[in-house]
Amino acid sequence: MPTTHRKAAAIGLTALLLAGTAIPAGAETLRWARAGDALTLDPHAQNENPTVTLSHQIMEPLVIRDQNAEIVPALATEWAVSDDDPNVWIFKLREGVKFHDGADFTASDAKFSLDRARGPNSNFKELLASIKEVRAPDDLTLEIETDGPNPIMPANLTNLFMMDQQWAEANNATEVQDYAAGEDTFAAKNANGTGPYKLVSREPDVRTVLEVNEDYWGKDEYPLEVTRIEYTPIQNAATRVAALLSGEVDFIQDVPVQDLGRVGQTAGLEVRSRPQNRSIFFGLQSGAEDIASDNIDGRNPLASKEVRQAMNLAINRDAIRQVVMRDQSVPSGVIAPPLVNGWTEELDKLPEGTIEDARALMEQAGYGDGFSIRLDCPNDRYVNDEAICQAVVGMMAQIGIDVNLDAKPKAQYFPLITSGNGETDFYMVGWGVPTFDSEYIFNFLVHSRDGDYGSWNATGFSDPELDAKIESLASNTDIEARDAAIREIWDRVQDEVLYLPLHNQVLNWGLKDSVVAEVDPEDAPKFKTFRLN
């Protein structure tokens, strides 16, 4: 017995030493910081960027978006609509993929994961709402049946991570963590994925350490040069930049626009940028008879299309780009970013006219003497959100609109928009489009507020005919007819001046220049693609 013990100890020690030599300290470690931390490790509990980004390192979806936002294979190698049934999508799964604990990845795991993500606690269930049934006819085939043809099904799966069924069952994690009710599950603190990195340790809001998965299926396809990741959230922007400037971290994901120059000029550091798939714009309560935050009794000045046009003209998008955003924004004339299906250059043209034209429109609408109104704004959500709103206050003053700015943290701000009680009349929104399709924008922002539709539409705008057109997009498989319908809806939105478009944000990553990486269009870095010099 003692011999066995000693032997075991010796093997253990050797393994430890080997492990020590296998990963030379620091050489391939990437120290990564951003403002916020992932909220949970349960991949289906929270659909928000920091959480999804961390999951992307440890786990994988069936299909994934690459650097050009194209959908490419991940755990599925091929996919197509079934020849026999237009309501069924068939996914061929990758062979020989193993989870971190050594278990094989099979179609039953995929079925389990999708069913799990359709459960009541899931934060992804809306994306899978059209699914009727998921089947696993054999180990490498997955069939998804929807309640009607769903042409954009793969686009809904790019952040939908695959879990190991046995692992989940063994650890009592078959149900999605009820995050909202404060449920604490094994899957919220541990992860067993197929991804390029394994979880080593995690202290929420403090530090998370990942190490490369030596058995990763894609190690020949991807560089996989980063072998260890240390992830630290640093909230205070100045501290975060200081950490990069002083070389304490190698990569910060959110460089404040004013610090781009300093970071870029610092020896050994580099800034990489790319337009983000997110539009920033202002909403106006145009549907109500009267609004609370103005000084006009009995009427709603925003109900006048001329007033909305005047406000649209008064926003000096170029000045905001030059001064507030330091060229890190692309002024826009429509509330869809260019990557979205349905966007056209024509739509994106900035409104034409001078400040005099705007004043004339105000005159025409009967508001030549102006009016006062409150602008609600977040101060911790979008790039320079509060400063943009402040600038808009000045611009509105030019056409006689006296704006009171009320900026607050997002937790207190968003309820004003989503409560549906008309708590805000003039507000800022940023909208990302994870499906890269206009339908997503219409469902949330244009459709009347009705059940699951229009939950972010605080404009009071409602047109049953338009609503019907929006709803028809979901099952329209004739791509051309569908695109035509999208075009018609956009024309209407633009004609109504439903929203005042401002710009699309630009993503700015600050990196050590030894790190070669392209900015991810969804701001979710995939470290397996990073190269180190």
Interaction residues for another protein, span 218-237 (CB under 8 A): 232-237
Is residue 207 within 8 A of residue 231, CB to CB? The reply is yes
Q: Verify binding: residue 201, another protein, rule CB under 8 A.
A: no
Closer by beta carbon to another protein, 141 or else 258: 258
Q: Of the listed pieces 21-29, 121-129, 269-277, 301-309, which binds another protein according to CB under 8 A?
A: 121-129
Q: Verify binding: residue 393, another protein, rule CB under 8 A.
A: yes
Closer by beta carbon to another protein, 4 or else 246: 246
3-state DSSP assignment of residue 292: coil
Could you please report the per-residue DSSP string of 13-55? HHHHHHHHHHS-TTTTEEEEEES---S-S-TTT--SHHHHHHH
From the CB of 263, what's the least distance to another protein, in Å?
8
Q: Is 11 exposed, middle or buried (0-12, 13-18, 19+ CB in 10 A)?
A: exposed
Beta strands in 94-238 (DSSP E): 131-138, 141-146, 197-203, 207-212, 228-233
Q: Using CB under 8 A, which of 344, 412, 472, 477 touches another protein?
A: 412
Residue window 450-489: x/- pattern of binding to another protein, with contact defined by CB under 8 A = -xx--xx---------------------------------
Residue window 319-348: x/- pattern of binding to another protein, with contact defined by CB under 8 A = xx-xxx------------------------
Residues 6+ apart with CB under 8 A from 300: 285, 286, 288, 289, 290, 291, 294
Q: Of the listed pieces 94-102, 272-280, 314-322, 519-527, which binds another protein according to CB under 8 A?
A: 314-322
Closer by beta carbon to another protein, 162 or else 416: 416
Q: Using CB under 8 A, which of 70, 133, 203, 513 touches another protein?
A: 203
Q: Of the listed pieces 95-103, 182-190, 213-221, 353-361, which binds another protein according to CB under 8 A?
A: 182-190
CA angle 160, 89, 72 (to 5 degrees): 50
Q: Can you say whether the dihedral through the CA atoms of 414, 418, 424, 425 is positive or negative? A: positive
Residue 95's H or E segment, with its range, is none
Residue 523: closest CA among 218, 343, 275, 342: 275
Q: Using CB under 8 A, which of 10, 13, 292, 484 touches another protein?
A: 292
Residues 6+ apart with CB under 8 A from 49: 522, 523, 524
Residue window 4-43: x/- pattern of binding to another protein, with contact defined by CB under 8 A = -----------------------------------xx---
Residue 387's H or E segment, with its range, is helix 385-397
Q: Verify binding: residue 379, another protein, rule CB under 8 A.
A: yes
3-state DSSP assignment of residue 124: coil
Closer by beta carbon to another protein, 144 or else 396: 396
Contacts (CB under 8 A) with another protein, residues 415-454 = 415-416, 418, 423, 432, 444, 451-452
Q: Verify binding: residue 404, another protein, rule CB under 8 A.
A: yes
Contacts (CB under 8 A) with another protein, residues 38-77 = 39-40, 46-48
SS (H, E, C) 197-255: EEEEEEECCCEEEEEECCCCCCCCCCCCCCCEEEEEECCCHHHHHHHHHCCCCCEECCC
Q: Verify binding: residue 288, another protein, rule CB under 8 A.
A: no
> Strand 29-34 vs strand 251-252: parallel, antiparallel, or unpaired?
parallel
Q: Verify binding: residue 250, another protein, rule CB under 8 A.
A: no
**Number of residues in contact with another protein under rule CB under 8 A:** 84
Closer by beta carbon to another protein, 224 or else 257: 257
Contacts (CB under 8 A) with another protein, residues 251-280 = 256, 258-259, 261-262
N-terminal to C-terminal alpha carbon distance within the chain:
50
Contacts (CB under 8 A) with another protein, residues 77-116 = none
